[in-house]
Amino acid sequence: MKSGKTADEPLDAYLPQAGNRGYRVSRYDLDLTYKVHSNRLSGKATITATTTDVRPRFSLDLAPTLQVSKLSVNGRRVAKYTHRDGKLVITPAQKIPAGGVLAITVQYSGNPQPISSLWGEVGWEELSEGALVASQPNGAASWFPCDDHPSCKASYRISITTDSPYHAVANGTLVRKQTKASLTTWVYEQTEPMSTYLATVQIGPYERRRIDGARVPMHAIHPQNLRDRFDHDFGRQAQMMDVFERLFGPYPFDDYSVVVTGDDLEIPIEAQGLSIFGANHCDGRRGSERLVAHELAHQWFGNSLTLGAWKDIWLHEGFACYAEWLWSENSGGPDAHTHAVQAHRGLAAKPQDILLGDPGPQLMFDDRIYKRGALTLHVLREQIGDDAFFALLQKWTAKYRHTTVSTEQFTDLAAHYTDKPLRGLWDVWLAAKPLPAL
C-alpha cells in the first residue's frame, strides 16, 4: 500500500468518512452489557489486526454517542487518542512495523443511537421492548469501534449481557449462555469472515425454536404471540432453502435464523446468518413471502459474497431480487419471465437516470437497482441458456465464497460460460442509463 498523501484517501467514494487505512482486521471480540430500559450500552472491544504500512497513528470508526474510558494497543495503555467526528484516532507509544500485530482494546459506554446518514438512520435502535441493529451501510460504529467498510471482513465473538427476561441474538453459533442473578450472558461465535454492516445484535422478549424439516438447521426467534402466524408465513422456508441450494450451491453458513420483532419494521434487515423482520411482515397471509426469499438469498449474495465497493450494490440486490422470481418459478407461482416483463414495464415508466454499474450514493438503494439488476440477470440467462446460467451462479458462489467481489469479476467469469460475446449486454444494462428492450 502506498504511503504519503494517497494512503488516507477515502476507501470508498460513496462513503468517504467510513473505513480506515493502515491495517487489516482479522478478529473482533466484543463484550457488551446492555440495560434495556435505560438504553445503556457498555462495551469492551478487542480488535486484532495486521498493519499494512508504518504510520504514527491509526483510526477506528466510533459514533460520538459512545465515550471511550480506556484504551490500549498491544497490551500497553495509550494516553494519546482523540475521538471526534465519528473517528477514534489512536497514537501508539511506539511505531509498529508493516506486517506487525495491532491489537487494540477499547472500553466504552453510552446511550447508543442510530447514525444519521444519507439513507436515513442506521445502526443500533431501541424497540418498544429491546433493541435491534440495522447497520447497512455505515451504522456499525453506532455500537462498536470498527473498520466500517464492507471489504473489511473478519471473524467475531459477540458476548451480550442483558436483563434475564430478554433473549439476545447475534451472528454465528451460540456457544455459551449463563444466568447470574437478574442478568443473562449470551456468547456467539461467528467464524466465517463478516463485514461490519452485517454484524448484529437483536434483543427482545423472544422465544427460540428449531424449524422442522430443514436440512440446514433453521431457527425461529419471535415473541410468543406471533408463533402461529410465523408458522404459516415462514412455513415454506425449508423448501426455499432446498430450491436455492439447488440453484446457487450449498448454503454458505452453519445455520439460518429469522428474528421477528414485536414492532413493525419498514423493511426487513439483512445480517450474516440471520434475517430480521417486523411484526407487520407476519400477517398470517404469506403477504411478505417474496421478502422472505429475498433475505434468504442474501446469505449467498451479500453475506458470503460481499461487494468490495458500494458502487457494485447490484451484485447484492439484483441477485436477491432475481431470487424472488426464481422462488416464484419453483414454487407454483408465475415464472421469472413473467416477473421480468412486469418489472420492465414498471421501470419503463420511471426516469431513465440510473446507472446500474455505478449508481452513486444517493441512488444505491433505489428500487430500480433491484429490478434492473434482476432484469440484467434474466437477460443473461436467456442469452446463455439455463444450464450455463445456473452453472455460472454455482461457480460464482463457490469461487468467491466468504470473500469480496466486484462486477468485473462476475462479468469475467460469465465469459467462460458462453461462446457469444457479452460485452454488448453489459454495456447497455450496466454502463448506460436508458432502459434496453427486454
Residue 275 backbone dihedrals phi, psi, to 5 degrees: -130, 150
Q: Are residues 274 and 333 in the same domain?
A: no
**377 in Cβ contact with 316 (< 8 Å):** no
Model confidence over 304-350: pLDDT tens digits? 999 999 999 999 999 999 999 999 999 999 999 999 999 999 999 99
Last residue of a domain, one of 239, 269, 299: 299
Sheet hosting strand 76-77, strand order edge to edge: 76-77, 66-73, 101-110, 40-51, 23-35, 154-163, 183-194, 173-180
Last residue of a domain, one of 268, 299, 330: 299
| Distance separating alpha carbons of residues 381 and 392, to the nearest angstrom | 10
Say which residues have a Cβ less than 8 Å from residue 366's Cβ, sequence separation at least 6.
Answer: 354, 359
C-alpha distance from residue 26 to each of 20, 30, 221, 276 (Å): 14, 13, 29, 26
Last residue of a domain, one of 182, 201, 220: 201
Q: Are residues 92 and 160 in the same domain?
A: yes
**CATH value at residue 292:** 3.30.2010.30
Output the pLDDT for position 373: 98
For residue 2, pLDDT beyond 50: no
Output the pLDDT for position 8: 80
Mean pLDDT of the residues in the chain: 96
Q: Are residues 295 and 342 in the same domain?
A: no
Domain annotation covers residue 437: no
Q: Are residues 36 and 156 in the same domain?
A: yes
Domain annotation covers residue 435: no
* Strand pairing class (269-271; 23-35): unpaired
Output the pLDDT for position 72: 97
**HSE toward the beta carbon, residue 7, CA cutoff 13 A:** 17
Chain centre distance of CA 49? 21
**What is the total count of domains within the chain?**
3
pTM for this structure?
Answer: 0.96
| Distance separating alpha carbons of residues 184 and 284, to the nearest angstrom | 32
For residue 5, pLDDT beyond 70: no
Structural domain boundaries, residue 361: 305-429
**Mean per-residue pLDDT, 94-121:** 96
Q: Are residues 130 and 150 in the same domain?
A: yes
Q: Are residues 150 and 169 in the same domain?
A: yes
Closest CA to 322 of 305, 343, 346, 303: 343
Model confidence over 395-407: pLDDT tens digits? 999 999 999 999 9
Q: Are residues 29 and 113 in the same domain?
A: yes
Model confidence over 232-241: pLDDT tens digits? 999 999 999 9
Domain annotation covers residue 420: yes
Q: Are residues 138 and 262 in the same domain?
A: no
Domain annotation covers residue 436: no
Return the ∠ at Cα 71 (arms to 68 and 77), rounded to 5°. 150
Q: Are residues 194 and 215 in the same domain?
A: no
Q: Are residues 335 and 287 in the same domain?
A: no
Q: Are residues 312 and 345 in the same domain?
A: yes
Closest CA to 150 of 116, 111, 198, 182: 198
**CATH value at residue 330:** 1.10.390.10
For residue 1, pLDDT beyond 90: no
Q: Are residues 215 and 319 in the same domain?
A: no
pLDDT band for position 4 (50/70/90)?
A: very low
**CATH value at residue 55:** 2.60.40.1730
Domain annotation covers residue 313: yes
